[in-house]
A and B are shown apart, each in its own frame.
Chain A
C-alpha cells in the first residue's frame, strides 16, 4: 500500500459526460501528479500540483482540468468525454515541489481509476 488513495476504482460513463476523479496523497506529501495510461500510449504525464499551485503541465487536453485543495487532496475533472478518453488514470504524490533531497523526487502511485467511456 503506497499510502495514496484514489476514488472511484471504476467509472463507466457515456460520451459527452463529465466526471471527477479524486486523489488523496500520502501523509506529508505536498506534490500531486496525474498520469494517464492507455494501451497504446503507456504512462503519460498530465499535470503537477504543489501545495495547491499548478507547477507543470504535460499532454493534458483542454477538456481536462485539475486542482489541489487546501487539505492537499486533488481532483481531475474530465469533460465532454470521448471514447478515446477511456484509460487508467493514476495519481502519484511526492514530497518534492521545490529543490531538496533527491529522494524527494520519488513518486508513489495510487491504485488508479479505470475510466470507460461508452
Chain B
C-alpha cells in the first residue's frame, strides 16, 4: 500500500530557529496536506497544496508540493513556544467511485527550548 516517509521523526530546537521537515512517497498524490496535532487533540489542518510545484504560505509556515507529486516540505520560520506539537504530512488519494482517503506520514515531533 501507499506509504509516506516523513523526516525527521523529532526535532529539538531553540526558540527563534527555523524548522524544516519533509515527506516523500513512492506514489503520486493529487493533494498534499499538512496537519499539526497537540496532545489530547485532533489534527488541525495547517496548509493544503493542490498543484505540483505550488508554494503556499500561512503566516510563518511555508509548504511546497514537489514537482514529481511524490514529495512535500514544510518550513516554519522564527519558531515560538506554541509551535510545539507533532506535524503530519498527508497525501490525498481520490479513488474510484468517489472514494477518498488520506495517507499519513509518521509525524515530526517538534520540541522548542525557550
- Chain A partners chain B: yes
Chain A residues proximal to chain B, CB less than 8 Å: 2, 4, 31, 33, 35, 42-45, 48, 50, 55-56, 58, 90, 92, 94, 96-99, 102-103, 105-112, 114
Please give, as numbers and ranges, the residues of chain A lying within 8 Å of B56 by CB-CB distance. none
Q: Tally of A-B residue pairs with Cβ under 8 A?
A: 84
Q: For residue A47, which residue of chain B has the nearest CB? A: B101
Min CB distance, A54 to chain B, in Å?
9
Instruction: Give A90 to B45 CA distance when docked, in angstroms.
Output: 14
- If A48-B101, A56-B100, A99-B98 touch, whether A43 touches B48 (CB-CB below 8 Å) is no
Residue contact B99 to A110, C-beta cutoff 8 Å: no
Residues of A within 8 Å of B41, CB to CB, are: 111-112
The 8 A CB mask of B40-54 against A (1 = contact, 0 = none) is 111111001010000
Say if the beta carbon of B97 comes within 8 Å of chain A.
yes
Cβ–Cβ contact A98 & B101, under 8 A: no
Q: Are B98 and A90 in contact (CB under 8 A)?
A: no
- Distance of A117 Cα from B103 Cα, bound (Å): 26
Contact between A107 and B45, CB atoms less than 8 A apart: yes
* Bound: A113/B103 CA distance, A: 20
Q: How far is the CB of B12 from chain A (nearest CB, A)?
A: 20
Tell me if B30 is interfacial: C-beta within 8 Å of chain A.
Answer: yes
User: Cβ of A105 and Cβ of B31 under 8 Å apart?
Assistant: yes
Known: A58-B101, A90-B43, A110-B42. 11 other contacts (CB 8 A): A43-B88, A43-B102, A50-B100, A55-B97, A94-B100, A102-B50, A105-B33, A105-B48, A105-B92, A109-B43, A112-B42
Closest 4 CB pairs of A and B: A56-B99, A109-B42, A102-B50, A55-B99
